Amino acid sequence: MASESGSPPPPSDQEMAEAKAMPVRQYLETRVVPLLLQGMQRLVIERPVDPVEFLAKYLTDNNPRKKVEEKPKEGEGAPADAAAAPGAAAPAAPPAAPAK
C-alpha cells in the first residue's frame, strides 16, 4: 500500500532477497539500466540546464514500482509527441528557463 507521500510500497522480503542474491551486473541490467537509458535519451533530446535534476525527476516520475493509478491517466498531461512515438517516454519536466 502506498504511503501518503505517494511513494511505492516497500519491497517484500522475497523481492529484497532476490535482488540481494543477484550478481551486481544482473541487478543493474534488470533493475536500473533500462529506465536509466530511457532517462538519458530524454536528457540528450531536451538538453536541460540542470541535467542531474532532470534525470533525477525523470527516474522518480517513471519509477516502475509506482502503482499505475498514481501515474497520470493517458491523455492527462501527456505531450502530443508521446502518442506519436510508441514506447517513447514522456518528458519528465518542461524545458528549463534560460539563466539570467
CATH of the domain at 35: 1.20.890.10
Global confidence as pTM: 0.56
pLDDT for 98 equals: 54
Tell me which residue range forms the domain holding 48. Answer: 14-65
- Residue 37 lies inside a defined structural domain of this protein: yes
Tell me which residue of 75, 77, 42, 70 sits closest to 56, measured CA to CA. 42
- Residue 44 lies inside a defined structural domain of this protein: yes
Rg (alpha carbons) of the chain, rounded to whole number: 16
Torsion sign, CA atoms 40, 45, 51, 55:
negative
- Residue 97 lies inside a defined structural domain of this protein: no
Distance from C-alpha of 62 to C-alpha of 92, rounded to nearest angstrom: 8
- Residue 78 lies inside a defined structural domain of this protein: no
- Residue 30 lies inside a defined structural domain of this protein: yes
Each residue's pLDDT, cut to its tens digit, for the chain (100 residues) gives: 444 555 667 788 888 899 899 999 999 999 999 999 999 999 999 999 999 999 999 999 999 888 554 556 555 554 444 443 444 444 455 555 555 5
- Residue 41 lies inside a defined structural domain of this protein: yes
C-alpha cell at 67: 502503482
- Residue 80 lies inside a defined structural domain of this protein: no
Per the structure, the count of domains in the chain is 1
